[in-house]
Chains A and B, each alone.
Chain A
Amino acid sequence: MSVIISKLIEVLYSVLPITAIVVFLNFTLTPIDTPLLMRFVFGAVLIIIGLTVFLLGVDIGITPIGNMMGSAIVRSNKIVIVVIAGLLLGFFISIAEPGLHILAGQVDAVTSGLIAKRNIVVVVSIGIAMLLSVGLARIVYNFPLYKALTVLYGIIFALALFSSPEFIAIAFDASGATTGALMIPFILALARGVSQLKKDSKSSEEDSFGLLAIVCTGPIISIMIMSILAKTDKITGALPATETLSTSIITPFLLNLPFIAGEIVIALAPILIIFLVFQKTAFKLTRPALRRVLFGILFTFIGLVLFLLGVNTGFMEVGSIVGYKMAAIDNHWYVILAGFIIGMVTILAEPTVNVLTHQIEEVTSGYVNRKAVMVALALGVALAVTLSIIRILIPQIQLWHYLLPGYFFAVAMTYFIPKLFVGMAFDSGGVSSGPMTATFILAFTQGVAEAIEGANVLLDGFGVIATVTMMPLIAVQILGFIFKIRTKKGGLNDNEQ
Chain B
Amino acid sequence: MTMNSRAEASNIELIRVIVNYGLGSKLIKAAKRHGISGGTIILGKGTVNNRLLNYIGITDIRKEIVHLAAEKESAYRVLEKLNKEFEFHKPNHGIAFTTTICGIFGTKTMQCKSLEEESGADNIMYHIITVIVDRGKAEEVIAAATKAGSKGGTIINARGSGIHETSKMFAMDIEPEKEVVIILSEADKTEAIISMVRDHLKIDEPGNGIIFVQNANRTYGIHK
Chain A residues with a Cβ under 8 A of chain B: 1-4, 6, 56, 59-60, 199-202, 205, 288-289, 291-293, 295-296, 362, 364-367, 369, 371-372, 482-483, 486-492, 496
Q: Which A residues lie within 8 Å of B158 (CB)?
A: 365
Answer whether A288 and B135 are a contact pair too, CB < 8 Å, given A364-B159, A365-B158.
Answer: no
Residue of A nearest to B57 (CB): A292
How many Å lie between the Cα of A56 and that of B139 in the bound state?
A: 35
Answer whether A201 and B139 are a contact pair too, CB < 8 Å, given A60-B58, A365-B159, A490-B165.
Answer: yes
Answer whether A490 and B167 are a contact pair too, CB < 8 Å, given A4-B58, A201-B136, A366-B159.
Answer: yes
- Report the stretch among B6-14, B42-50, B69-77, B109-117 that lies at the interface: B42-50
Q: Which A residues lie within 8 Å of B57 (CB)?
A: 60, 288-289, 291-293, 295-296
Tell whether, in the assembled complex, residue B53 and residue A3 are in contact, meaning their CB atoms are under 8 Å apart: yes
Whole-angstrom distance between the Cβ of B75 and the nearest chain A Cβ: 24
Answer whether A496 and B164 are a contact pair too, CB < 8 Å, given A4-B58, A365-B43, A369-B172.
Answer: no
Q: Which B residues lie within 8 Å of A205 (CB)?
A: 135, 177
Answer whether A56 and B136 are a contact pair too, CB < 8 Å, given A3-B48, A365-B42, A492-B206.
Answer: no
Q: Which B residues lie within 8 Å of A200 (CB)?
A: 136, 139
Selected from A291, A365, A371, A496, the residue in CB contact (under 8 A) with B157 is A365
Q: Which B residues lie within 8 Å of A364 (CB)?
A: 159, 177
Selected from B53, B155, B207, the residue in CB contact (under 8 A) with A1 is B53
Answer whether A366 and B59 are a contact pair too, CB < 8 Å, given A490-B164, A492-B207.
Answer: no
Residue of B nearest to A491 (CB): B164
Tell whether, in the assembled complex, residue B167 and residue A488 are in contact, meaning their CB atoms are under 8 Å apart: yes
What's the A-B contact tally at a CB cutoff of 8 Å? 99
20 contacts between A and B (CB under 8 A): A4-B53, A60-B60, A201-B139, A201-B179, A205-B135, A288-B57, A292-B57, A295-B57, A296-B57, A365-B41, A366-B24, A366-B175, A369-B172, A371-B172, A372-B169, A483-B174, A486-B174, A489-B207, A490-B164, A492-B164
How many Å lie between the Cα of A292 and that of B134 in the bound state?
A: 36
Tell whether, in the assembled complex, residue B164 and residue A292 are in contact, meaning their CB atoms are under 8 Å apart: no
Name the interface size band of chain B. Answer: 35 or more
Tell whether, in the assembled complex, residue A367 and residue B159 are in contact, meaning their CB atoms are under 8 Å apart: yes
How many Å lie between the Cα of A77 and that of B158 in the bound state?
A: 29
Residue of A nearest to B138 (CB): A201
Whole-angstrom distance between the Cβ of A199 and the nearest chain B Cβ: 7
B176 at the interface (CB under 8 A from A): yes
Extra inter-chain contacts (20) besides given A1-B53, A372-B169, A488-B167, CB under 8 Å: A2-B48, A3-B48, A3-B53, A59-B60, A60-B57, A200-B136, A201-B136, A201-B157, A201-B179, A296-B57, A365-B41, A365-B42, A365-B158, A366-B41, A367-B159, A369-B172, A486-B168, A489-B165, A490-B164, A496-B134
Q: Which A residues lie within 8 Å of B159 (CB)?
A: 364-367
Q: Which A residues lie within 8 Å of B24 (CB)?
A: 366
Q: Which A residues lie within 8 Å of B134 (CB)?
A: 496
How many Å lie between the Cα of A333 and that of B53 in the bound state?
A: 50
Tell whether, in the assembled complex, residue A3 and residue B59 are in contact, meaning their CB atoms are under 8 Å apart: yes
Question: Main secondary structure on chain B at its contact with chain A?
Answer: mixed
B5 at the interface (CB under 8 A from A): no
How many Å lie between the Cα of A490 and that of B162 in the bound state?
A: 10
Question: Main secondary structure on chain A at its contact with chain B?
Answer: helix
Chain B residues with a Cβ under 8 A of chain A: 24-25, 41-43, 48, 50, 53, 55-61, 64, 92, 134-136, 138-139, 155, 157-159, 164-169, 172, 174-179, 206-207
Q: Which A residues lie within 8 Å of B178 (CB)?
A: 365
Selected from A60, A202, A488, A491, the residue in CB contact (under 8 A) with B135 is A202
How many Å lie between the Cα of A91 and that of B207 in the bound state?
A: 49
Closest 7 CB pairs of A and B: A292-B57, A202-B136, A367-B177, A486-B167, A365-B159, A489-B164, A367-B159
Q: Which A residues lie within 8 Å of B25 (CB)?
A: 366
How many Å lie between the Cα of A202 and that of B138 in the bound state?
A: 10
How many Å lie between the Cα of A491 and that of B108 in the bound state?
A: 15
Selected from B41, B155, B166, B174, the residue in CB contact (under 8 A) with A201 is B155
Whole-angstrom distance between the Cβ of B88 and the nearest chain A Cβ: 17
Whole-angstrom distance between the Cβ of B100 and the nearest chain A Cβ: 26
Q: Which A residues lie within 8 Å of B175 (CB)?
A: 366-367
Residue of A nearest to B169 (CB): A486
How many Å lie between the Cα of A371 and that of B55 in the bound state?
A: 32
Residue of B nearest to A293 (CB): B57
